Amino acid sequence: MILDIAKYLGLYILLMALQLFVISNVNINSSFSVYFQPQVLVMFLLLLPPRMSHVWLIGVSFMAGLILDTFFNTMGVNAAVCTFVGFFRHYATREIENEIASREEDNKIWTSKKGRPWKWTYFMTFIVLYHLVFALLESMGDNFFSNFLIVTLPAVLISSIATFLFTITLEDLIYKPTKS
């Protein structure tokens, strides 16, 4: 139990450090920068154990987002998005628990238990959802409607693809299945 908590805490710190020290310092050609804002913390929410209770999942997601808000002066945006993803993620993963018990494989992370197509769909759905809600909340203001098609939607697509590629790569690196 304590080891599991430590592992997830380590993953959270790693993702926070990446977001804070690497991604926010990447200055792609300035004109393009509004379209490139991957939010890698979503990986932490997606990998949280499926057997976690719904209330705990929402609480942990909220705290994860709130800490990120502190570092990015986004006052509640990340907390709101993380809580949103945490709440709906439960419905996608609540049935996985039994399957893990019945199928013991060498996979080190539960996301691989249902096969690659499920995993990719699961990742992509919630990553897009995260970026979409984040962009909608973050861009609330005078230019919301005029910017929606020109900035918000392309930014969501580009950032989601970048985050998806990052998530599957990092997940593979950290939790690569051991073959017997």
CB–CB of 166/38 below 8 Å? yes
* Piece in contact with another protein (CB under 8 A), picked from 2-10, 41-49, 78-86, 111-119: 78-86
Is residue 62 a contact point for another protein (CB under 8 A)? yes
Q: Give 125 or 139: the residue with its C-beta nearer to another protein.
A: 139
- Kindly report the CA angle at 94 between 97 and 104, in degrees rounded to 5? 20
Is residue 98 a contact point for another protein (CB under 8 A)? no
Q: How far is the CB of 35 from another protein (least distance, A)?
A: 8
Compute the Cα dihedral for 57, 76, 141, 20 and give only its sign.
negative
Measured CA to CA, the distance from residue 105 to residue 107 in angstroms comes to 5
Compute the Cα dihedral for 139, 60, 45, 30 and give only its sign.
positive
Q: How far is the CB of 80 from another protein (least distance, A)?
A: 3
Which residues would be at the binding site for another protein (CB under 8 A)? 20-21, 24-25, 27, 30-31, 33-37, 54-55, 58-59, 62, 65, 70-77, 79-80, 83-84, 87, 90, 137-143, 146-147, 150-151
